[in-house]
């Protein structure tokens, strides 16, 4: 398959995987750690959505499904088989416990990414495309324009019934 | 190749039930710090066995059973000491 | 070949944006993208178990570091605003 198409499909699948699992695991609801709260409030001050800001802050401050997807695809690429994804899930779980997070988002993201990559190899997409694709997906949320991306995440979070928890 | 993973999972589950680990954490599952069989015992068992599976000499069912037992024991007794959960309001 | 070009381009672009941005809390997500990029390159150039383990440990330690940085920036802002 043409490399550009494969990387694009890898990027779309990685984006869907990490955004859906992170929103489902409640990342836009509350900041897991205080650093995430600071980043979330800073994005809100610049015109973004608070839930989307907490989402970005939680991605920066703790390994979540984005880290899980990236490391699972790296593991799959290096080991040549889904075992790499399982080892990545183990490491992401330990990383989560170090960062004061229960660990559900990262491990679930890594396992579901392993399943996705395994299914995608049957249509000709290899794990390298998922590695680059995950970087592109992270770029769209964290690196282009925070107010727009946080508003998109906020809208998706409200649709999936994960609103910001006010204390 | 998959049978050994199933054996590791089964061995971890059986020992988890013997050590009286709960099967599921309390709801809402995503915020709970409770150690259960589904999470993280099975994750640890499968992950550690995948590491050992890479070294071909440890590739048999005895390793799978031992790793299952180890992950159940580790998650019940040692996990909270090695990776302590933070108290409310504390920062990592 | 094309993957490494894409990753290098993204890292350089994020580096330039880091250089231009003044707000330190706005820089944290850009730093996070660079961490993703470096972790990806470590594995792409070393497709072996050592490469993957290095990549995983680097990324987790980079996340811990970013956590500490964001927490400290928050603390300093609190101290400054408490003194006003």
Instruction: Write out the residue range of the structural domain in which residue A137 sits.
Output: 3-159
Mutation for testing the C interface, residue in A62, A71, A125, A144 having most C CBs under 10 Å: A71
The span from the CA of A106 to the CA of B36, in Å, is 17
Whether the per-residue pLDDT at B46 is higher than 60: the answer is yes
Chain A residue with Cα closest to C16? A143
Residues C5-33 have pLDDT tens digits of 999 999 999 999 999 999 889 999 999 99
The answer to whether residue A128 is domain-embedded is yes
pLDDT for C39 equals 94
pLDDT for B13 equals 85
Where does the pLDDT of residue B20 fall: very low under 50, low under 70, confident under 90, or very high at 90 and above? Answer: confident
pLDDT for B1 equals 66
Residue-wise DSSP of A67-133 = HHHHHHHHHHHHHSSTHHHHHHHHHHHHHHHHTT--SHHHHHHHHHHHHHHHHHGGGT--HHHHHHH
The span from the CA of A59 to the CA of A4, in Å, is 27
Matching residue, tokens 């068992």: B45
Q: What is the pTM of this model?
A: 0.91
Residue B3 or A154, more confident = A154
Residues C27-66 have pLDDT tens digits of 999 999 999 999 999 999 999 999 999 999 999 999 999 9
Number of separate helices (H) and strands (E) present in chain C = 3, 0
Q: Is A95 in CB contact (< 8 Å) with chain C?
A: yes
The answer to whether residue A165 is domain-embedded is no
Residue ranges, chain A, pLDDT below 70: 167
Closest of A64, A67, A68, A85 to residue A76, by C-alpha: A85
Residues B24-38 have pLDDT tens digits of 777 777 777 788 888
Domain count, chain A: 1
* Beta bridge partner(s), residue B36: B40
The answer to whether residue A148 is domain-embedded is yes
B47 neighbourhood in chain A, CB within 8 Å: 86-87, 89-91, 93
- For chain B, what are the domain ranges? 2-23+34-82
pLDDT for A77 equals 94
> How close A2 gets to chain B, by Cα (Å)?
32
pLDDT for C6 equals 93
pLDDT for C84 equals 63
* Direct distance between the N- and C-terminal alpha carbons of chain C, in angstroms, rounded to an integer: 54
Under 8 Å CB-to-CB from B20, ≥6 apart: which residues? none
pLDDT for B92 equals 44
Average of per-residue pLDDT values in chain B = 81
Where does the pLDDT of residue B88 fall: very low under 50, low under 70, confident under 90, or very high at 90 and above? Answer: low
pLDDT for C83 equals 73
Chains contacting chain A through 3 or more C-beta pairs under 8 A: B, C
- For chain C, what are the domain ranges? 2-83
Residue pair B71/B12 in contact by the 8 Å Cβ criterion: yes
Where does the pLDDT of residue B87 fall: very low under 50, low under 70, confident under 90, or very high at 90 and above? Answer: low
Beta-carbon separation of B91 and C71 below 8 A: yes
C40 neighbourhood in chain A, CB within 8 Å: 70, 74, 131-132, 134-135
């Amino acid at each position: 398959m043409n490399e550009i198409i494969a990387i694009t499909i890898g990027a779309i699948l990685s984006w869907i995987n990490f955004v859906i699992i992170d929103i489902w695991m409640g990342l836009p609801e509350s900041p897991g750690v205080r650093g995430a709260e600071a980043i979330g409030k800073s994005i809100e001050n610049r015109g973004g959505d608070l839930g989307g800001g907490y989402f970005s802050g939680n991605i920066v401050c703790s390994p979540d499904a984005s880290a899980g997807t990236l490391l699972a695809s790296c593991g799959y690429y290096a080991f040549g088989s889904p075992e790499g994804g399982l080892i990545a899930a183990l490491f992401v779980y330990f990383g989560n416990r170090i960062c004061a997070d229960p660990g559900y988002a990262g491990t679930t993201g890594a396992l579901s990414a392993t399943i996705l990559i395994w299914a995608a190899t049957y249509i000709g997409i290899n794990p390298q495309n998922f590695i680059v694709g995950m970087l592109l997906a992270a770029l769209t949320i964290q690196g282009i324009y925070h107010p727009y991306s946080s508003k998109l995440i906020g809208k998706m979070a409200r649709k999936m019934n994960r609103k910001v928890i006010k204390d | 190749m998959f049978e050994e993973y199933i054996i590791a999972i089964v061995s971890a589950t059986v020992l988890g039930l013997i050590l009286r680990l709960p099967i599921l954490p309390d709801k809402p599952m995503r915020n709970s710090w409770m150690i259960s069989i589904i999470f993280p015992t099975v994750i640890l068992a499968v992950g550690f066995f995948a590491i050992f599976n890479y070294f071909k000499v440890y590739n048999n069912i005895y390793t799978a059973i031992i790793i299952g037992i180890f992950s159940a024991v580790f998650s019940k007794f040692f996990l909270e000491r090695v990776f302590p959960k933070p108290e409310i309001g504390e920062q990592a | 070949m094309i993957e490494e070009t894409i990753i290098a381009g993204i890292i350089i672009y994020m580096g330039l944006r880091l250089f231009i941005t003044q707000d330190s809390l706005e820089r944290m997500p850009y730093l996070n993208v660079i961490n993703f990029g470096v972790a990806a390159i470590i594995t792409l150039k070393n497709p072996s178990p050592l490469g993957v383990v290095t990549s995983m440990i680097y990324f987790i330690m980079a996340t811990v570091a970013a956590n500490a940085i964001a927490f400290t920036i928050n603390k300093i802002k609190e101290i400054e605003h408490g003194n006003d």
